[in-house]
């Protein structure tokens, strides 16, 4: 798809972040009837074709303050925060203090993602279904515990680890090695100052995204994400190798059960604890034999769930965000495209471990001409205009189709036109999942 003109309208929106999620947010916000001017900080090569980019990252406290100053200098009407790190650092609080409207929860609510131990304790306190767990700071105690727990077992770094701080250990040796990786080697940095050891939950995963103004909420269309790097769910977990939507219909009994047992008690628990949550709550669920149980909470849009979900949104995203901020969500129902959406992520060879950057990406125009959306993740522009890789998850090729199979075929046809040294992508995105007639 060709680049649209950059609007310079009466409304000005700043999107914070630099990945595929933020590219999808930028493109969706541009479709608003308000025709806003979009800024993005720091953005990427794809976002630069649709918005004015500013080289400011908000993953440090000085960066948070720089975003606030940018918002004031540009007199932005709305800031949309994409990544988790700025939320955990308190960017929403700082923007609100400066009198700037912001879509994204405050620091206090962002702890639901910033600390897995905090979340598990919150769930236990409010009797919300989740896996049994223990939290450790001492290495010896953690080792002793995993020597006796049933296998497989899940070990998680407590803090933010860019989607990579979860290890599923299927043997005792792997479990002990995971303790070393997280608590001793500090593979995930300060995120591994505490370790959460969880019961393994067999079942099917579901991504359920909820927009809430603190009282009312709107459930967005469902999606299923693929975390492991290789086909057949093999290899280490990543930030997401692909996704499809819908997974279940919103009126499916499974979704209604999740809203009743998980979402409503969570919002009630937050209110009881004196925590106001305004923004997007990503509920990662495992559909088990016991019913839906919480795997994790995120406090922002997922990536690549955002790409497939927003590709199907027909309502005005600006209106949804403003209703959330102003506490006007009650009774609001977004309109969705009935078609299916599939996103396939192209990564650098070696990801999620060591990988090269600065590699030229070829075939972007040819792939875009196939009527798919190509959302840039880790990309940057060279001085001569070439698009280069800048990290692990590089591109998200997203297609719509009357069936999931049609969308999948379109995405993979476009992916075959893209190339950079070491390009890797899964070949089985959208080919599995619980998707019976009732789920269609």
CB 11 within 8 A of CB 78: yes
The enclosing domain of 245 has a CATH number of 3.30.470.20
Asked whether residue 232 is assigned to any structural domain, the reply reads yes
The enclosing domain of 191 has a CATH number of 3.30.1490.20
**Is there a single domain that holds both residue 242 and residue 291?**
yes
**Is there a single domain that holds both residue 319 and residue 372?**
no
**Is there a single domain that holds both residue 175 and residue 217?**
no
CB 68 within 8 A of CB 90: no
**Is there a single domain that holds both residue 296 and residue 186?**
no
Please count the other Cβ atoms lying within 10 Å of the Cβ belonging to residue 322: 16
Classify residue 130 as exposed, middle or buried by CB count within 10 Å of its CB (0-12, 13-18, 19+): buried
**Is there a single domain that holds both residue 187 and residue 216?**
no
Q: What is the DSSP string of 167-210?
A: EEE-SHHHHHHHHIIIIIS-TTGGGGGSEEEEE---SEEEEEEE
Which ranges constitute the DSSP H helices of 261-390?
Answer: 264-272, 305-310, 317-325, 364-368
Q: What's the rounded Cα separation, in Å, for the pair 309 and 18? A: 18
CB 91 within 8 A of CB 106: no
Nearest to 161 by CA among 181, 189, 202: 189
**Is there a single domain that holds both residue 99 and residue 28?**
yes
pLDDT digits (tens, 9 = 90+) for 330-343: 999 999 999 999 99
**Is there a single domain that holds both residue 186 and residue 259?**
no
| Predicted local confidence at residue 236, as pLDDT | 87
Q: What's the rounded Cα separation, in Å, for the pair 211 and 306? A: 13
SS3 286: strand
Is pLDDT at 9 greater than 70 in this prediction?
no
CB 351 within 8 A of CB 238: yes
β-pairing verdict for 195-199 and 133-136: antiparallel
Q: Which two tokens stand for residue 319?
A: 């209106």
Is pLDDT at 5 greater than 60 in this prediction?
no
pLDDT digits (tens, 9 = 90+) for 376-427: 999 999 999 999 999 999 999 999 999 999 999 999 999 999 999 999 999 9
The enclosing domain of 385 has a CATH number of 3.90.600.10
**Is there a single domain that holds both residue 210 and residue 286?**
yes
Q: HSE on the CB side for 122, CA within 13 Å?
A: 28
Q: How many domains does the chain divide into?
A: 4
Q: What's the rounded Cα separation, in Å, for the pair 108 and 110? A: 6
**Is there a single domain that holds both residue 87 and residue 138?**
no
The enclosing domain of 90 has a CATH number of 3.40.50.20
**Is there a single domain that holds both residue 358 and residue 388?**
yes
Q: Give all strands (DSSP E) within 358-417, no chain letters.
A: 373-376, 379-381, 387-389, 393-401
pLDDT digits (tens, 9 = 90+) for 10-36: 799 999 999 999 999 999 999 999 999
pLDDT digits (tens, 9 = 90+) for 194-231: 999 999 999 888 889 999 999 999 999 999 889 899 99
pTM of model > 0.85: yes
**Is there a single domain that holds both residue 231 and residue 252?**
yes
**Is there a single domain that holds both residue 211 and residue 313?**
yes
Asked whether residue 426 is assigned to any structural domain, the reply reads no
Tell which of 265, 296, 325 closes a domain: 325
Tell which of 325, 359, 378 closes a domain: 325
Q: Return all residues near 120 (Cβ < 8 A) that are at least 6 apart.
A: 130, 133, 135, 196, 198
Classify residue 234 as exposed, middle or buried by CB count within 10 Å of its CB (0-12, 13-18, 19+): exposed
List the domain range (segments joined by +) for residue 185. Answer: 132-199
pLDDT digits (tens, 9 = 90+) for 219-270: 999 998 898 999 999 998 888 999 999 999 999 999 999 999 999 999 999 9
Question: What is the percent of the chain with per-residue pLDDT over 90, rounded to a whole number?
Answer: 87
Classify residue 5 as exposed, middle or buried by CB count within 10 Å of its CB (0-12, 13-18, 19+): exposed
């Amino acid at each position: 798809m060709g680049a649209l003109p950059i609007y310079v309208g009466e409304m000005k929106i700043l999107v914070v972040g630099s990945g595929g999620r933020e590219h999808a947010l930028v493109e969706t916000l541009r479709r608003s009837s308000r025709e806003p001017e979009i800024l993005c900080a720091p953005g990427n090569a794809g976002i630069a074709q649709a918005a004015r980019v500013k080289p400011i990252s908000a993953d440090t406290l000085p960066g948070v303050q720089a975003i606030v100053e940018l918002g004031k200098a540009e007199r932005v009407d709305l800031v949309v925060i994409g990544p988790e790190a700025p939320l955990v650092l308190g960017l929403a609080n700082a923007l609100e203090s400066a009198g700037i409207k912001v879509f994204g929860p405050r620091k206090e609510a962002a702890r639901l993602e910033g600390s897995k131990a905090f979340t598990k304790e919150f769930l236990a306190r409010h009797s919300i279904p989740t896996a049994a767990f223990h939290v450790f700071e001492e290495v010896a105690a953690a080792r002793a515990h995993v020597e006796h727990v049933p296998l497989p077992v899940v070990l998680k770094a407590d803090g933010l680890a860019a989607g990579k701080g979860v290890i599923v250990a299927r043997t005792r040796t792997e479990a002990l090695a995971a303790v070393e990786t997280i608590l001793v080697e500090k593979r995930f940095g300060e995120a591994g100052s505490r370790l959460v050891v969880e019961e393994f939950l067999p079942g099917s995963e579901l991504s359920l995204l909820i927009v809430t103004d603190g009282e009312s909420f709107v459930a967005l269309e469902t999606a299923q994400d693929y975390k492991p790097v290789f086909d057949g769910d093999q290899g280490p977990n990543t930030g997401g190798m692909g996704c499809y939507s819908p997974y279940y219909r919103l009126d499916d009994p499974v979704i209604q059960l999740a809203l009743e047992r998980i979402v409503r008690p969570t919002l009630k628990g937050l209110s009881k604890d004196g925590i106001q949550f305004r923004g997007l709550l990503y509920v990662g669920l495992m559909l088990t034999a016991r019913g839906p149980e919480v795997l994790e909470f995120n406090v922002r849009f997922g990536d690549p769930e955002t790409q497939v979900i927003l590709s199907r949104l027909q309502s005005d995203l600006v209106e949804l965000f403003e209703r959330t901020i102003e506490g006007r969500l009650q009774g609001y129902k977004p309109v969705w495209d009935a078609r299916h959406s599939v996103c396939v992520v192209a990564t650098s060879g070696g990801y999620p471990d060591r990988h090269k950057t600065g590699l030229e990406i070829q075939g972007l125009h040819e792939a875009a001409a196939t009527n798919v959306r190509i959302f840039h993740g880790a990309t940057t522009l060279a001085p001569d205009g070439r698009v280069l890789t800048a990290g692990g998850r590089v591109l998200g090729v997203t297609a719509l189709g009357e069936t999931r199979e049609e969308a999948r075929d379109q995405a993979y046809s476009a992916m075959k036109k893209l190339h950079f040294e070491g390009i890797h992508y899964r070949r089985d995105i959208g080919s599995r999942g619980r998707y019976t007639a009732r789920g269609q």
